[in-house]
Amino acid sequence: MTRPLKLILVAVAFAGAGVITEQVADTAITRTFLGNAPAVLPFAILAAVLSVRPWWLMPLVAALHCAVFSGAVQIAVSLDSAHHVNMCVAGLAGGLGVALATAIGCRKLFRVRPLALLAATGAIAAIPFQLGGPDSMMLFDFAFWQGAVGTLLYALSKR
């Protein structure tokens, strides 16, 4: 299978995980820290399976991804949602957190360039969350964010 085709399939898989997250998050977003963790399990498991070696680190990395998601949601909820910059802060924290969590099982991510790329991608990919307004999230916000960050995470881990 060619590399571009693999990346397309990975992007579709991560976007699909984002759609599942959106469906669960619509009913599950809470103000408790780990109450949000189940919503991101599809992304966490997919990212760990595709990017982490050795295999025994996968559950730890997936659990850390859930904690990162919960932390990013707490940042987004606590900040005033009147500006795009605030959602970008939550996206940046999520992208950087996913990169650092995955770096436990993929040491090549623990460098400045991959960390900066994933943080910047997380920040930029979070802009659609603001476009839907503070009370209504568009269906594909999580799909876009998880597709962008997950695909870059995979590409950087396989370089």
pLDDT tens string 14-34 = 999 998 888 877 665 555 656
Q: Which residue has the higher pLDDT, 120 or 83?
A: 120
Q: Residue 119: is its pLDDT beyond 90?
A: yes
Query: Burial code of 54-78, b = ≥16 C-beta within 10 A, e = fewer?
Result: eeebbeebbbbbbbbbbbbbbbbee
- pLDDT for 135 equals 47
Q: Would you put residue 133 in left (φ > 0), alpha (ψ -120 to 50) or beta?
A: left
Torsion 122-18-76-69 (CA) sign? negative
Structural contact between residues 134 and 118, judged by C-beta atoms closer than 8 angstroms: no
Structural contact between residues 18 and 144, judged by C-beta atoms closer than 8 angstroms: yes
Q: What is the pLDDT of residues 57-106, one digit of tens each?
A: 999 999 999 999 988 888 887 876 656 678 899 999 999 999 999 999 99
- pLDDT for 81 equals 60
- pLDDT for 39 equals 84
Kindly list the distances between the CA atom of residue 57 and the CA atoms of 61, 110, 129, in Å, as whole numbers in the listed order: 6, 16, 31
Q: How much is the mean pLDDT over the chain? A: 87
Assess whether the previous peptide bond of 134 is cis (omega < 30° from 0). Answer: no
